[in-house]
Amino acid sequence: MIERNPSLTLPLSGGGTGTASLAPPLIRGGWEGFLLFLFILLLTAYRAWVLATNGLNLYVDEAQYWYWAQALDWGYYSKPPVIAALIAGTTSVCGDSEWCVRSGSLLLYPLSTWLLFLVARKLFDARVALLAAVLFFTLPAVSLSSILISTDVALFFCWTLALYAFVFALDSDSLDDWILLGVALGLGMLSKYTMGIFLVSALMYVFVARRWDMLRNPKAWVAVLVMLLIFAPNLWWNWQHDFPTFQHTADIAAGTGGGTLHWDEFGEFIGGQFGVFGLVLFPLFLWVIVRGKVKHKTLLLSFALPFFLIIAMQALFGRANANWAAPTYVTATLLVAGWWQGRWKTFAVALAINVLLGLLVYHPAPLNHLLKTDVQKRLKGWGAIGQQYLAIQQQYPDAILLSDGRDVLSELVYYARPQGLRGVSWNPHNQLRHHYDLVTTLADKVGKDFLLVTPGAPPDGLPAHFANMQQVGTLEADIHPSWRLHYNVFLLKAFRGLVSP
């Protein structure tokens, strides 16, 4: 059963016996809240400066999300729509620079941190809340993700908002809190499908804490209904397009598959958690799970363990990137902070290590020297490649960008901005490999000229579909002795159609 404290009267038998609903806690903070506000403000300003001055190009996924944002829809090949809507919102305010494309992270992580502070204050007290919020805002995963834009940014926010609403709904049983939970769940599902694990966590809490009353509570089912209503447009979009996002997600989850256990992938995933949560925090989290005494441990473990275990099993049976389990560390941070009361030396060491890791993310020269590489190499060179392509495009203004690579199409559409954002996937066998296979077609382009951009020779059989082909240039960017971008550009005249030559 969940432990009670004076600031949290969770009803154990149903009914609204708790405190008032959301609005007052959202604006009250106390002196701890004021300190946190200053900390968030200063660190966010520093991160904004880093983002504005580091000169890093958009990663292929970021460039693709920007492309999505130019044509808002209820779904895309590999992700639900919130990431595109977020970028569309920020770029409508400040333009299409890399800084503005990524600025959603600078907005949402502070909000997620403040929500976490409010949850921790509700479960523990204001000092533990301040500790938890500072830890969370300096997690290595948050430090890195704060200068990029990804689906994890919105997922973190929606997960934390859902946890906030769930904790307050347990206390107040207010319809407003349950509706807010449904909104958070719905927006989370529109951000990343792994938001559905929140429902698994909630059911785990119901069974472990024996909160059967929640299953009989009509307000809880209102939350589920609200979630489904918000998520429904994405389901409809997938149904109209033969469920590409669901299929892509299933393929990613399957990984290498084969029915075998992939201990190498599992070991890499577990090792990666030290980089996601911290060199001290991750082993401490595991220790607290087994031995630590923390208030509301049942509740917090219910929202930490399922996500972690599901993604760990995915790594064992297929593959999983280290960051895929990141929402685990919302409640993991609360667990560690709740256990840490009075253990200031350990806290100081963990915080210092995480701050150091964050500084290495922002200023990686020492790390590059140690590893003899450039850890940011995948975020460099595309600006130059785009300008080189644009110079060739201007010589053949009617030619349409063509490639069989998602990376080329995403980066060149952003950095070269061909007229009308025209870029077509070479897809003669009507496969569905990426978003450009879904939204572009060659069927209506018979007689058109193209500029093919490819890392090597043209794909097999491609020349036969055109009246003439000649190489007209190369695109090159030397990033590091171990990393170089090189693409050949071919002018393809008079497309004959996708028929046998």
Task: For residue range 267-314, list pLDDT tens digits in order.
Answer: 999 999 998 998 989 999 999 999 888 899 999 999 999 999 999 998
Residue that has been written with the tokens 């008032």 in this structure: 20
Q: Is 494 left (phi over 0), alpha (psi -120 to 50) or beta?
A: left
Residues of the chain with pLDDT > 90, as a percent, come to 78
Place of tokens 């061909």: 418
pLDDT at 15 over 50: no
pLDDT score recorded for residue 23 = 41
- 71-106 burial code (b ≥16 CB/10 A, e <16): eeebbbbbbbbbbbbbbbebbeeeebebbbbbbbbb
Give the chain's radius of gyration (CA, Å): 25
Residue 259: predicted pLDDT: 62
Instruction: Answer yes or no: is pLDDT of 323 > 80.
Output: yes
Relative orientation angle of helices 82-94 and 60-69, to the nearest 10 degrees: 80
Give ∠ CA 265-266-267 in degrees, rounded to 5: 90
Residue 292: the pLDDT is 81
pLDDT of residue 257: 52
Strand ordering across the sheet containing 466-480: 423-425, 400-403, 450-454, 483-495, 466-480
- Tell me, what's the pLDDT at 341? 72
Residue 71 makes CB contacts below 8 A (sequence gap 6+) with: none
What are the residue boundaries of the structural domains of the chain, listed by start? 23-370, 381-495
pLDDT of residue 319: 82
- What whole-number distance in Å separates Cα of residue 404 and Cα of residue 382? 17
Write 89-94 long-range contacts (CB < 8 A, 24+).
91/66
pTM of the model: 0.90
Q: What letter does residue 241 receive in the DSSP assignment?
A: T
Query: With contact defined as beta carbons under 8 Å apart, do 440 and 423 qualify?
Result: yes
Helical ranges in 138-196 per DSSP H:
140-145, 151-172, 175-189
Highest mean pLDDT among 144-153, 249-258, 322-331 belongs to: 144-153
Contact indicator for 285, 235 with CB cutoff of 8 Å: no
Two structure tokens written together for 464: 């036969």
Could you report the per-residue pLDDT of 172-202, keeping only the tens digit for each? Answer: 999 999 999 999 999 999 999 999 999 999 9
> In this predicted model, what pLDDT tens digit does every residue of 24-76 receive, in sequence order?
455 555 888 899 999 999 999 999 999 999 999 999 999 999 999 999 999 99
Q: How does DSSP classify residue 373?
A: S
Which pLDDT does position 267 carry in this prediction? 93
410: pLDDT strictly greater than 60: yes
Element of type H or E holding 487: strand 483-495
Q: Is the pLDDT of residue 227 over 80?
A: yes
pLDDT > 70: percent of the chain: 92
Burial classification of residue 404, based on how many CB atoms lie within 10 Å of its CB (0-12 exposed, 13-18 middle, 19 or more buried) = buried
Mean per-residue pLDDT, 399-420: 91
Does residue 256 register a pLDDT over 80?
no
